[in-house]
């Protein structure tokens, strides 16, 4: 008769332990801290429990990447913060399902002198501690090369999560909406403190809902939560869904806070203006920002070269862009020369007409408030939906 009582007691303890205040279902990062001590820069990840981490360095630009199991970042802020000492800046977020990541941008070549775990003491819980010291460029590069040799050289394809294809719905046109940035790549940080990745996800979901409501389209998002995707993954997702249109949704920022309004971009080898060229350079850096090693990636991020197959989809892209500019002018704020051109990597699908919509400027308080409001999101979604309708209404059967 003693045995059941003992089992009950054990069960109760286990239940109590699981429901304790500290441990939720997902591990939590409760703090990220940078400190300087002489020529040493220390980075600390505060955790609610003991976790293993994988650490590696990337060159050009110099970065230290920390991979963790999927965690919740219990930190207020836009997902990016300034560092000090050898750490210029750091970002954090979900890199792929099961893996969260912290990316440190280094001020110069640095070596990971020490990496260890501290057990709880005083007001601190478990901590992962990284001690960095300065090194030479050559030593940094040698270290990166050595690690690459250990892991096996050659291109490594990061896994892509493609949602299961829906049932055949009678050949509806497929529209893929691509909310820019995500996870370890916050995009630009708005004057209201919210990162681009969050603002554009809200807009993209509103566009999806508006398009789906019409019943005319099969609509997919490249991401529906705060997760990183390489530019190549975004293109690949469009291909996997056999997209008829690809619309990448962003929000820009400029030093001049007075500038506001939306701009529609399509692909071109040469940019329409200097600002468009600068924007393309910035958006094309998303993979570096997110913590991708471009040295092991295929050269699709190399300079944009446009072949014959792409010309046709470029004409279709321009057609959609002109409809969209017209619709935006009627119900949103637009910039002068609303349709511009530049070499955006994410628009380089040979078969899929693709546009990039910069919905406005998060550096402008009025634009930022508008784009974060339900009304602003609805206006953009209405413009996109009407432009997509016009695009398919006027396309002849051979176009898609």
Alpha-carbon distance of 234 to 200, in angstroms, equals 15
Minimum separation from the CB atom of position 368 to Zn ion (A): 14
Shortest reach from residue 253's CB to Zn ion, in Å: 9
Tell me if 348 sits within 8 A of 268, measured CB to CB: no
273 within 8 A of 337, measured Cβ to Cβ: yes
CB of 185 to Zn ion, least distance (A): 9
Strands of the sheet with 87-96, listed across from one edge: 54-58, 63-69, 99-106, 87-96, 80-82
Through-space distance between the first and last CA atoms of the chain, rounded to whole angstroms? 75
- Give the helix ranges, DSSP H, for the chain: 2-18, 137-151, 196-213, 231-240, 274-284, 286-290, 308-331, 365-371, 374-394
Q: For Zn ion, which is the closer residue by CB, 85 or 202?
A: 202
CB-wise, 105 or 283, nearer to Zn ion? 283
Provide long-range contacts, Cβ within 8 A and 24+ apart, for 34-39: 34/83, 34/84, 34/85, 34/87, 34/90, 35/84, 35/85, 36/84, 36/85, 39/133, 39/134
Helices (H) and strands (E) in the chain, counts: 9, 16
Q: Is 329 left (phi over 0), alpha (psi -120 to 50) or beta?
A: alpha
Report which residue's Cβ sits closest to Zn ion: 250
Binding-site ranges for Zn ion (CB under 5 A): 180, 187, 250
Yes or no: say if 83 and 34 are a contact pair by the CB < 8 Å rule.
yes
The nearer residue to Zn ion, 27 or 261, going by C-beta atoms, is: 261
Q: How far apart are CA 263 and CA 388, in angstroms?
A: 16
In the complex, least distance from residue 356 CB atom to Zn ion, rounded to whole angstroms: 8
Q: How far is the CB of 201 from Zn ion (least distance, A)?
A: 12
Smaller CB separation from Zn ion, 255 or 393 = 255
CB of 283 to Zn ion, least distance (A): 5
Give the nearer residue to Zn ion in terms of CB position, either 131 or 226.
226
Closer residue to Zn ion, CB minimum distance, 125 or 187: 187
Residue 157 contacts by C-beta under 8 Å, 6 or more apart in sequence?
A: none
What is the DSSP track for 296-361?
A: GS-GGGSSP---HHHHHHHHHHHHHHHHHHHHHHHHS-EEEEEEEEE--GGG--SSS-EEEEEEEE
27/186 with CB nearer Zn ion: 186
CB of 145 to Zn ion, least distance (A): 32
Shortest CB 221 distance to Zn ion, Å: 16
**Measured from the CB atom, is 217 or 246 closer to Zn ion?**
246
Our CB check for Zn ion shows the closer of 125 and 190 to be 190
Least Å distance between CB 29 and Zn ion?
Answer: 25
């Amino acid at each position: 008769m003693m045995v059941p009582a003992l089992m009950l007691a054990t069960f109760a303890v286990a239940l109590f332990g699981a429901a304790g205040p500290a441990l939720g279902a997902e591990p939590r990062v409760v703090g990220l801290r940078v400190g300087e001590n002489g020529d040493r820069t220390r980075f600390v990840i505060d955790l609610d429990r003991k976790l293993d981490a994988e650490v590696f360095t990337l060159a050009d630009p110099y970065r230290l990447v920390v991979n963790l199991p999927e965690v919740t970042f219990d930190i207020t802020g836009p997902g990016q913060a300034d560092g000090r000492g050898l750490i210029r800046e750091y970002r954090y977020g979900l890199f792929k399902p099961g893996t969260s990541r912290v990316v440190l941008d280094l001020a110069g070549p640095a070596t990971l002198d020490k990496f260890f775990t501290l057990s709880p003491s005083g007001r601190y819980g478990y901590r992962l501690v990284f001690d960095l010291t300065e090194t030479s460029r050559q030593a940094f590069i040698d270290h990166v090369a050595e690690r690459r040799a250990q892991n096996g050289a050659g291109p490594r394809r990061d896994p892509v999560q493609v949602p299961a294809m829906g049932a055949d719905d009678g050949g509806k046109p497929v529209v893929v909406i691509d909310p820019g940035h995500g996870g370890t790549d916050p995009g630009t940080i708005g004057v209201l403190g919210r990162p681009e990745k969050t603002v554009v996800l809200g807009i993209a979901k509103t566009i999806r809902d508006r398009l789906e409501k019409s019943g005319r389209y099969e609509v997919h998002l490249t991401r529906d939560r705060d997760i990183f995707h390489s530019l190549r993954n975004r293109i690949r997702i469009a291909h996997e869904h056999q997209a008829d249109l690809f619309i990448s949704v962003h929000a820009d920022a400029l030093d001049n806070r007075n500038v506001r309004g939306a701009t529609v971009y399509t692909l071109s080898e040469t940019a329409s203006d200097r600002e468009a060229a600068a924007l393309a350079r910035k958006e094309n850096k998303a993979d570096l920002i997110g913590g991708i090693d471009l040295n092991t990636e295929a050269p699709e991020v190399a300079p944009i070269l446009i072949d014959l197959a792409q010309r046709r989809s470029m004409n279709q892209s321009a057609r959609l862009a002109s409809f969209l500019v017209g619709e935006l002018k009627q119900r949103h704020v637009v910039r002068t020369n609303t349709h511009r051109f530049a070499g955006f990597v994410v628009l380089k699908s040979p078969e899929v007409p693709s546009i990039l919509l910069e919905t406005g400027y998060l550096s402008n308080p009025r634009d930022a408030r508008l784009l974060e409001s339900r009304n602003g999101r609805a206006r953009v979604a209405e413009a996109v939906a009407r432009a997509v309708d016009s695009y398919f209404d006027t396309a002849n059967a051979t176009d898609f």
